[in-house]
Amino acid sequence: MLALASSTPLSSVNINSTVLNEISYGAFKDCISLESINLPDSLTRLVGSAFYGCESLKSISLPSGVTSLFVDTFHGCTGLKRVDLPSHLTKMYYNVFYNCSSLESIIIPSTVTEIGENVFYGCSSLDSVVYLGTNVSFGQQCPSNAFSGCDQLKFVCVPPAYDSDSFCGLNPLCKNESCESFVQNQCFAPVCNNDTISMTKRKSAIEWENKTNACYEYQCVNDSGPIYWSQCNSTEEIKRECRNDQCIVIEQEASSGIMNKEKISIIIMAIIAFLIATI
């Protein structure tokens, strides 16, 4: 069993134990500086409020042995963007991801058969939900509570064998065998049309700066490597590299003003050649 005081100033935790099987109630509660944690494969039980209020936590991968997520596990983790749920998960109790306002997508394993009340309440950035199973129970809460406040949610994907035309009141559903491969991409979000999936630029990946009369080339880096796109409406060109929600200028070229490195190099070489010729 593992438990820590909430005042412990942690930013990163790596648990290498091979015998730890439980993280106790409120173990990391209000550890507001915690950004990352590596959990051991031996873990089978994640008790309620384990990461309650860990507002700096960005992502987490849960070991396959964890079968239940108890009450308020990630309640108030406002910086949490990605969660890899365990492959043997069967039940999520209420308020698990309550007010995880940065969470963009979630893949729910086929083993999950019960989802409690308010699980995704207030997940205002959630735009994609994939359920890999064929039958899940939401109790009496649907459709009002489970996804209340998920204003960006537009993509709900299930296998063709899913036994309903609604997912906790969310419809229309996209029924496609390849749902899983289209989500958890920080650059692009999936869109469904008649069960055919396409991709669109994710809002959070292109919102750093929007200037008129400019040409931008964006680079968004995800697990598969860099992805590029551009938005142009003048002769000015600005190349930006985007990582971790920050976008910086890496090269700028314009008809006047700032010159790029290549032009500067040509000018310097011309000056050197002129000096040599006059000696």
Please choose, from the candidates 100, 104, 101, the residue with its C-alpha nearest in 3D space to the C-alpha of residue 205.
104
Which among 112, 110, 129, 242 has a CA at the least distance from the CA of 183?
129
- Classify burial at 59, counting beta carbons within 10 Å of its beta carbon; exposed 0-12, middle 13-18, buried 19 or more: middle
Task: Render pLDDT for 25-41 as a digit per residue (tens, 0 to 9).
Answer: 999 999 999 999 999 99
Per-residue pLDDT of the chain (279 residues; tens, 9 = 90+): 555 645 557 899 999 888 899 999 999 999 999 999 999 999 999 999 999 999 999 999 999 999 999 999 999 999 999 999 999 999 999 999 999 999 989 999 999 999 988 999 999 999 999 999 999 988 666 755 788 899 989 899 999 999 888 888 887 789 998 888 887 766 677 888 888 888 776 655 444 344 333 444 445 555 555 555 444 444 444 454 444 444 445 554 443 333 444 445 555 666 666 666 666
- Residue 133 is encoded by which pair of tokens? 């199973």
Nearest to 20 by CA among 66, 77, 61, 69: 66
pLDDT tens sequence across 225-244: 555 544 444 444 445 444 44
Going by C-alpha positions, the residue among 110, 131, 136, 106 that lies closest to residue 120 is: 106
Cα 121 from chain centroid (whole Å): 17
Write down the pTM of the prediction. 0.73
| Contacts of range 37-42, beta carbons closer than 8 Å, 24 or more positions apart | 37/12, 37/13, 38/13, 38/14, 39/15, 39/63, 40/15, 40/16, 41/65, 42/17, 42/18
Q: What are the sequence ranges of the domains in the chain? A: 206-279
d(CA 254, CA 238): 8
